[in-house]
Amino acid sequence: MGQIQDESQLINSFSAQRGPSQDRDRRLAEKIDRRNQAGIVEARRRIAQMEATIVSFEKTVRDLESWIQSEQSRTGVHADSTLASSLTQRRDTLMRSIEELKRNLAETRSYA
């Protein structure tokens, strides 16, 4: 019992010795910690959003590829189909967007 009482007295004496600058430092450290936690939460939210977008884009790319094949078989592979050309452009743009999202995702994961 004597040791526990001595430890609590020691803790109380440290608390009593804390000055205004130490309180300010503690509050500043707590504020920085809250901001860091908020940043991590935001990064995790962005990660989930990017992952969902990538999945959606990949599904759209698969759908576009199917439509492109259907259009090419309907008009002939070498025929100049405006629809097939348009779908191909859209697919290629989505594929570039997926790659950019994956790069951003990797960067954001390193933060969270």
- pLDDT at residue number 91: 97
The reported pLDDT for the residue numbered 29 is 83
Task: Report yes or no on whether pTM surpasses 0.85.
Answer: no
CA distance 72 to 66: 10
pLDDT in tens, 29-72: 888 888 888 888 899 999 999 999 999 999 999 999 999 999 88
Residue 37, pLDDT score: 84
Pair 112, 49: CB distance under 8 Å: no
Task: Quote the tokens at residue 42.
Answer: 């935001």
Q: What is the pLDDT of residue 59?
A: 98
Q: Where are the domains of the chain?
A: 24-111
Q: How far apart are the first and last CA of the chain?
A: 45
**Best mean pLDDT range from 12-21, 24-33, 81-90:** 81-90
